[in-house]
Every structure is written in structure tokens, then in C-alpha cells.
Structure 1
Amino acid sequence: MTDHAAVSDFVVVSNRLPVDRTDDPEEPWRRSPGGLVTALAPFMRRTDGAWVGWPGQAGVELDPFETDGMQLVPVTLSAEDVELYYEGFSNDTIWPLYHDVISPPRYRREWWQAYVRVNRRFAEAAAAAAADGATVWVHDYQLQLVPKLLRELRPDLVIGYFHHIPFPAYGLYSQLPWRRQVLEGLLGADVIGFQRVADASNFARSVRRQLRYDTKATGITVPQPGGGERLALAKAFPISIDVDDYVQLAHSPAVRARAAEIRESLGNPKKVLLGVDRLDYTKGIGHRLKAFGELLDDGRLDVEDVTLIQVASPSRERVDAYMQLRDEVELAVGRINGSVDTVGHTAIRYLHQSFPREEMVALYLVADVMLVTALRDGMNLVAKEYVASRIDNRGVLVLSEFAGAADELGSAIRINPHDIDALKDEIVRAIEMTPAEQGRRMRALRRRVSDHTVDDWSRDFLAALDAARQARS
């Protein structure tokens, strides 16, 4: 059936491979810094696992290769594939629809056709890489059709799918012209994981309304093509971070020295506020800037005392909505700084770039207040990274109730980012919070993050897949 010399018992499928190409001939590939790679790399090395994904450059055709103890199976995407499947359907249809239509989604049939075509290509690559009875774990919204396509190709496989972004309420989801096909695609998996209980509930309701399948607790009864039925598990598996990595960096003398240097470069303000986001309309950056600007205009904050650092890493720069957002954010920053800056102090230090993890931890150590004002977010790992880095049990996390992390981080100051007046009040409250209350809240937050790491997340999901395998036998 399959050539066992070229196949693996554990296969991960994601839009991108877990490596980035470099210009160094000695090290042409470097492991990506993402949490998913961190969580799964040790397990894949133990199982001689394979990772199926796009290498990140259009038109590049590569044979499977090995790096960092993992078998990597590249999937080729043409420039047209990237435009239609990735920038089009994934990021201009699914992304805005699943994030509560903060930006209007566009429904184009040629995008959908490309999405089907590319999902089939990923499924075929995974089927070829998987040994008899292997476990395959598919990741995220770009590949929602892969579970069903893969099951049709390889019914012997145990298939998991994890959805890293929100799943919308039925009233929004029902707008999707291809709503049934996507649900059927996801239900090809034995286990379908979501960030929040609400997301799993939204998915189950859409299945009931569209497909009329029976749903009970976390189980969904899925009819089989040849008769009979099977049970798919759909439930929340909230993702987390590699806590130890952030703790070690926070203890590093070099990182701590860098934090002191950053604060000095800002003019040693009394309080430093920090926002760290991809430049995305879901992150509420404009709401944050509006609240901060009004606090300065109202005289409740003084530019001599308080500075906001806003890191906005580049994102989807060829998509119109993102180009417009960048213009809006940079205009807002310029207006605020132009009206309140002094020669020695800048209100907002805006950084439209990405930074290595060491620099991010230094920024977390500098920040007296962390602002997470997402309008809709699957999880928001930045909130957890900040908490893990605060080994001094100081600092205040201001956290949107619309981020998945709010379900777990109950000791943060929770805010509705749409309520600008309340957001302003909570920012002032965070700035003025006593060290004793900071310590009480941060210790509780750190306990929660330490008790549920990215290793726990992957272990829980793989245990559910193993249970699905046992149920078959």
C-alpha cells in the first residue's frame, strides 16, 4: 500500500513549513520561532515525523528533505495559488468572516476554486507521507478541506485538525457561500480542536443547522459514505507557550541589560505602556491609540511621565485592507506625537517591524502595563508571553474580553476595547495600581500560565487522537 521507507507514523500539515529559508549556504534553513514548532518538534524527532507545508516562496519546487531531526515535505504553490488561495480566500474571505466581519469579507468563486485545488494538493502530499494507520494533524483555516479529502484518500489514518483562529457564530458563518463544504471538510477529522469553548459551540451549532447531524456534548455523529456512522470530537484545547523559554530569557543578564537600555532611550519615563501585535485590523490598535491620545489630550496622562511603545509587525502587505490599516495607524501616531511631544519625550514609539524573541522579552520587562485590546482573537499568545516574562511579579495586563486568553487569565484587567471611555479609565487604573495589587494579580496569572504550557496543549490533543484510535479498535 505504501512504501514504509519513505513514510512516517506522525504527519503534521500546515500552510507553512516549520523552517525559514536563509542566505547562509552552511545553514540554508532555520527553524521558525513559532509556538507550534516548539510544541511539536520534540515529538516529531522521537517519531521520525514528517511535516507537510509550503516553503514560503512562490514557484519553488523542492524534494522532501530533513532538517533539525524532522522530515519536511514541501508543497509547491505558484504565484497564482498564493494570490487566490492564500491572499484571496484564506485572508480576504475566511479571515475577516471568522473575525466577526470587522472588515467585510469578499466572496469570489475563483478564490474558492483555488482553495479547493490547493487543499487537495496538501491532502495528497500528506497521504503520500503517512504510513499505514498513521496519525495526521492538520492545522488552521487555510486547510479546512484537508481532513475530508485526506480521509477519502486514506481511510486508515487517524486525523486531527486544530483551528487556531475564532470560529464565528452561526449568523455570520451562514453568509459563506461554501458553508456546507467547509463543515464537511472539517468533519473529516476524528478530533477538531478550537481555542475556546464558545468556538466549539459555534461550530457544533453550524453543523446542526446546515448538515442536520446529531451533536451531543463534544461529540458529533457523522454519517459515512458506505453506510454507518462515526463520532467526531469537537472541543476546546486552548493553546499556550513555552513558559520555560520566556522565564530563562527574563533571567538573562543580557536581556535585562537591554531592558534597562530601552528604558533609558525613552528618557526614563515613570511608566511604559506596551502593545505588541501583527498589523491587523482584528488587534484593536486604533482603539488603543485613540484611548491613549485622548488621555494625553485630557491631561489625565503627561507625555513627560508615560510612553507607549507600539510594535506592529508587518502583515499581509499586499492585501488592500492591511495597506489601508497601516496608513490609518501611522496617521494616528503622527497626529498624537505631533500634538504632545516635547524635545525630550515622545508619546508613542511606533515600530513597524519584527523583533527576535530576546528583544521581545526585554520589551516585556520594560513594560509596566501591557495593552491587549484585540477586537477578536483566537487566543493572543502575547498576553501569555508577557505574564511568563514577568519573573518580578510586577506589571499589569490589560486584556480584551474578546481574546481567547481572557478565558484563562482571569486576574488581568478585562476591557471591552469598543468602550473607549472605560478603556481610558482602565489604562489609568493600571498605571496607578499599587505594587501589592500588581503582585497579587501577576502571581495568579503566572500560576495559570505555568500550569498550562504548550507542551500540555499538544499532549492533551494527541491524547484525544489516541483515544480516537482506541475507539476504532
Structure 2
Amino acid sequence: MPEEENSKAARHHGHSDFVVVSNRLPVDRDSTDNSDGGWRRSPGGLVTALAPVMAAHEGAWVGWHGAPDEVLEPFHHDNMDLIPVPLSAEEVELYYEGFSNSTLWPLYHDVIAPPEFHRTWWDAYRTVNKRFAQAAAGAAALNATVWVQDYQLQLVPRYLRQLRPDLRIGFFNHIPFPPQEIFAQLPWRQNIIEGLLDADLIGFQRASDAANFLRSARRFVGAGVKSAQIQVKDGDGKVVHIARAAAFPISIDVAQIQELAASKDVIARSRQIRQELGNPKTILLGVDRLDYTKGITHRLKAYGELLNDGVLTVADASMIQVASPSRENVETYKQLRDEVEGMVGRINGQYDTIQNTAVRYLHHSYPVEEMVALYLAADVMLVTALRDGMNLVAKEYVAARGDNTGALVLSEFTGAADQLKSAILVNPHDIDGLKSAILRAVNLSPVEAARRMRTMRRQILSHDVQRWSREFLSTLETEAVPV
């Protein structure tokens, strides 16, 4: 970097050598406990993966703190400097509920629901992304590493590069990246690609997502693409930057799940769950956010038909469906909740007995201890997403099954299907095929179940979320070599 640019950046840099930028800060307000400033660390693999890096590098985390129309000063929590980015209620509606979750989310998930394109949403998205970039630029030390997370912030790399050309910038897309034929629908497709290309490394869940991005970069901005490297050129055709795109499949905190699965309290709770359901022969489990990408209605339809066919009965089989609340202000999510609850009501009304319930539907979020107890109680895990960047629930279920029992029915449209090839893979759109897969899982012999689970566990145990962050960051720190 030229010396004058270096000195310019030096006048504006902060003190953090490693900065994470994400839509949300890694903390939640805790109204029950003010011992740590009224905040507690958020659950989730991303926080777990990055906490050691933050501690080692005087790290800062830039994100929204969750309350609209409130401005907070930066604060320190759990070995991290936290930089709150304020959002107004209108920006939450336009940038987050609008452009992020009613334009990009359905577009990037194969238009399972129709995306909406509104210029006011796009304007808010640009405004908010610029604000996040400014906060990150102010926190980062000279020549620091900045890791931007997910689809809500795809313009941040470009704004950040303009503000701080000294930085090394990574971006990770946690959701799928669509084929160019679908991405082409986005009116601002060129802006998004250009925003991402100012990162040094752009990470995706699957190799197919990285390939989709490379094709879009070539088509929509005319970038030169060779061996997963993208040459960014100025108006005169001179190469001014080289970005790289590759797959880095995210994983889970394996140690935490294993520790909980071995806990006496969690094991006792799993037995209690079975008893509360009347000790059925088979418990089937679905755990999802209430989202139209998760294939919950397909799963319920298949299960209801199996009951109607008489090959499963409520005396022998019971389904637990956890559907945690999600984006409840977005109209498509309200409609989905009505549809799911209607299906559950019809199935239970038709097949329940005094002693047995066909579907135990739980529209709540649960702590990880309860989730692991459910994993231990479940004989069959049903992951039937229509499109999913990864699906960590599938990996958590496998990590919890230390005795190599249980069966995983897994949609081939999840990123997890690339790693968990010994699951019973299924196309959830094929209801007859889904029914067959469920029956196969229910009737799997202990020998075959153990063989499949051992293979999946080997993969999960050797590829945890800490390995994911190490591999991404080590790749980011290496220089791109022109090819």
C-alpha cells in the first residue's frame, strides 16, 4: 500500500487487531441478572468459534444490540470490545425485515417464497451497511483483520475498503448463494457483487455456492475468474485487487454438545421426555426455526400420511416438532405459522387417543440443555429443509449420539448433506420418497444404525466450529497469488 495511504489510514484507526462485523452483537440483554452489566453471551456456534480469537487479539465485535431507536456507547464484555450500531425502528423494518429478509432471504433460498424488490428497502440497506462499515473502520487497528458475517452486510467490504485500504477483509455467507439465473432477478445484483469483491476472501458453505458466486461475478461485473480467484479491475482494465472465493463449511461446538449429552441431568431429562410421551417405541424429532425454507409442512404431510396408511400408529410413534419463533412481523412467516398449526391440529384431531399424541408441537425457543435432552430422546431426527446453507441441528444430533444409536433423515438440499453422507438422504419435495425414508429410519437395524452414526460422528468430531474459524482465518491471512 502506498505510504501516503498508510499514513492516512493510521490517522483513523482504532486499537483492535481483529474485528468481527455481524448484524447482531454476540450478547443479549439479561433482565434477570445485572451482575455483568445486564448482558449475557448469546448462544450459538459463531460466538463460540470466535471467542478465543477475540481474546487473543484484543478483538472488537460490531453489531446491532437488538433495540431500535436506542444509542449505546461501546462497552466491554467477556473479553470483547462491543461496538453497538444503532438502528431506527424504520431501518429495522426496511433494512432487516424488508431487504434482508423479504428480498435477499427468499431470493437466496431458490425463491421458495417470492422475493419483493423495493427501492426504499435497498436505500435503507445501503445506508445501514455504510454505518456498519464506518463503525468497523473506527475500531480496527492499522493493518487489522476484519471478518464480516452474512447476507445482511454484503456491501460492507466495499465501504470498508474505501475507508480503510490497509485492512485485510474476510466475508462469510452463512446462507446459500443462488444460481446466476435466480440472482439475475435482483435489480441491484451488480452492486452486491461489487460489494463482496472488495473482500480478500469470500467464504461459502458449499462448493456449489462458491461456484454460483464466481459465475455471477463473471457475468454481472465482467470480472476475470481463474481458479477461484477474481480479478477486480479499474476503469482502465488494470487489476487493482484479487479476491478469492471458496467453501468453508461451518460446524458446531462439538465439545459442548458432547459434555451435555453425558450429563446426568440431561440424560434424566431425556428419559422424562419419553415418559411424558407415554414411552412410545419411536420418537421422531424436528427442530427448526419457523421458516418456509425448513420443509416443516412437507414433514408433517408425510407423517400424517404414514398414520393414515396405518404403517405408523400413535401407540408406537410420536413426533415432537420444535418450531422456534422467527421474523414474526414478516407476512409470509405469519402465514406459515397458521398453516403449520392448522396441519398439527388436523393430524392430532384425527389420530390422537386419550393416552397418545400424534404431534407434540412446541412454538418456543429452548436452552441448549433441553435441546440435547431432545436429541437423546429422539430415535429419528427429521431434517427436511427445502434449502439450507448448512443446518447445524443435524450436526448437533449426530454429536449427541455418543452410543451410536439413532437415525438421521437429511434433506439433500442442506449443506450438511455434503458432510453427512451416511444419513438417509431425501428429496423433501418427494412426499412418497420422504415417507419411505422415515419408515426406513424407524425400522433401521441396530447394526446399520451404528455403522451410519459412527461414520457421521467421525466427520463431525474432526470438523468442529473452531476448526472452521481457524481454516477461514488462516486462508485469509495468506496472500493471493495471481494465476
TM-score class, shorter-chain normalisation, is: over 0.9
Cross-structure match for 2:326: 315
Hey, what does 1:185 align to over in structure 2?
195
Say whether residues 1:292 and 2:303 are aligned partners: yes
Paired residue for 1:368, among 379, 391, 404?
Answer: 379
CA shift for structure 1 position 224 = 4.2
Q: What TM-score do the two structures reach when normalised by structure 2?
A: 0.96
User: Pairwise mapping of residues 219-230 of structure 1 onto structure 2 (< 5 A)?
Assistant: 219-224=229-234, 227-230=238-241
1:381 is matched with 392
C-alpha distance after superposition, 1:113-136 (max 9, x if no partner): 000000000000000001110000
**Pairing partner for 1:55 from 62, 65, 70:** 65
User: Superposition pairs for residues 158-237 of structure 1, below 5 Å?
Assistant: 158-224=168-234, 227-237=238-248
Shift of 1:2: 4.4
- CA contact 2:14–2:142 (8 Å) conserved in 1: no
Aligned residue for 1:58, secondary structure, equals: coil
**Are 1:422 and 2:430 counterparts?**
no
The one-letter amino acid paired with 2:256 is: D
In the other structure, the counterpart of 2:34 is: 25
Q: Contact conserved, 1:361 with 1:389, CA < 8 A, in 2?
A: yes
Contact 2:12 2:138 in 1 (8 A): no
Q: 1:154 aligns with which of 164, 173, 191?
A: 164
- Native 8 Å contact 2:261 2:376 kept in 1: yes
Structure 1 unpaired stretches of 5+: none
The within-5 A match list for 1:240-319 is: 240-319=251-330
The DSSP-based 3-state class of the residue aligned with 2:478 is helix
The letter of the residue matching 1:25 is N
Secondary structure, counterpart of 1:354 in structure 2? coil
Residue 478 of structure 2 corresponds to 467
1: CA distance, partners of 2:433 / 2:336 = 24
Deviation at 1:25, TM superposition (A): 2.3
The answer to whether residue 21 in structure 2 is matched with residue 10 in structure 1 is no
What displacement does 1:6 show? 4.6
1:419-459 per-position Cα deviation (integer Å, ceiling 9, x unaligned): 00010011001000011110000000000001111011000
Q: Could you say what secondary structure the match of 1:91 adopts?
A: helix
The structure-2 alpha-carbon separation of the partners of 1:119 and 1:225, relative to structure 1 and needing over 3 Å to count, comes to farther
Alpha-carbon distance in 2 for matches of 1:63, 1:464: 33
Q: Which digits, 9 at most, give the CA deviation of each residue in 1:316-363, with x for residues without a partner?
A: 000000000000000000000000000000000000000000000000
Equivalent of residue 77 in structure 1, options 87, 93, 101: 87
* Distance in 1 of aligned mates of 2:86 and 2:13: 23
Letter in 1 for 2:34: P
Give distance in 2, aligned partners of 1:251 and 1:218. Answer: 42
Tell me the residue number matched to 2:52. 42
Q: CA deviation at 1:181?
A: 0.2
Contact 2:113 2:292 in 1 (8 A): yes
Distance, in Å, in 2 between the alignment partners of 1:294 and 1:5 is 61
Deviation, 1:228, is 3.5
Q: Name the CA distance, whole Å, in 2 between partners of 1:250 and 1:399.
A: 21
Is residue 28–residue 40 contact of structure 2 (8 Å, CA) maintained in 1? Answer: yes
**d(CA) in 2 for partners of 1:287, 1:6:** 50
Deviation at 1:3, TM superposition (A): 6.8
Task: Using the aligned pairs only, state the percent identity.
Answer: 64
Instruction: After TM superposition, list the pairs within 5 Å mapping 1:332-411 onto structure 2.
Output: 332-411=343-422
**Residues 224 and 230, structure 1, Cα contact 8 Å, conserved in 2:** no
Within the alignment, does 1:142 sit opposite 2:152 as a pair?
A: yes
Distance 1:402 1:292, change over 3 A: same
Give the corresponding residue for 2:6.
Answer: none
In the alignment, the residues of structure 1 paired with residue 11 and residue 243 of structure 2 have an alpha-carbon distance, to the nearest angstrom, of 29
Q: Is the 8 A contact 1:272 1:367 kept in 2?
A: yes
Greater shift, 48-57 or 21-30, is seen at 21-30
Distance 1:440 1:39, change over 3 A: same
Residue 3 of structure 2 corresponds to: none
Residue by residue, what CA displacement relative to the aligned partner does 1:193-252 show, whole Å, maximum 9, x if unpaired? 000000000000011111111111211111147843322110100000111111110000
- Aligned with 1:123: secondary structure? helix
What are the superposed Cα offsets for residues 404-431 of structure 1, whole Å, 9 maximum, x if unpaired? 0000101000000000001001100100
Between Structure 1 and Structure 2, how many residues are aligned? 471
Distance across 2 between alignment mates of 1:57 and 1:34: 20
Residues 284 and 5 (structure 1 numbering): CA distance in 2 closer, same or farther, change over 3 Å? closer
CA-to-partner distance for each residue in 1:376-406, whole Å, 9 max, x for gaps? 0000000000000000100000000000000
For the residues of structure 2 that align with 1:158 and 1:59, how far apart are their CA atoms?
A: 32
The residue matched to 1:346 in structure 2 has which SS?
A: coil
Distance 2:83 2:186 in 1: 31
Partner amino acid for 1:55?
H
Shift of 1:255: 0.2
* CA-CA distance at 1:471 after TM superposition: 6.2
- Counterpart-to-counterpart distance in 2, 1:2 and 1:240: 36
- Name the CA distance, whole Å, in 2 between partners of 1:2 and 1:20: 33
State the distance in 2 between where 1:5 and 1:379 align.
35
* TM-score of the pair, normalised by structure 1: 0.98
Structure 1 distance, partners of 2:409, 2:226, is 36
Aligned counterparts of 2:227 and 2:62: Cα–Cα separation in 1:
32
- Note the 1:70-149 alignment, pairs <5 A: 70-149=80-159
Q: RMSD across aligned C-alpha pairs, in angstroms?
A: 1.3
Please tell me the residue identity of whatever aligns with 2:77. T
2:249 corresponds to which letter in structure 1? P
Q: Counterparts of 1:231 and 1:131 in 2: how far apart (Å)?
A: 22
Distance in 2 between the 1:12 and 1:59 partners? 23
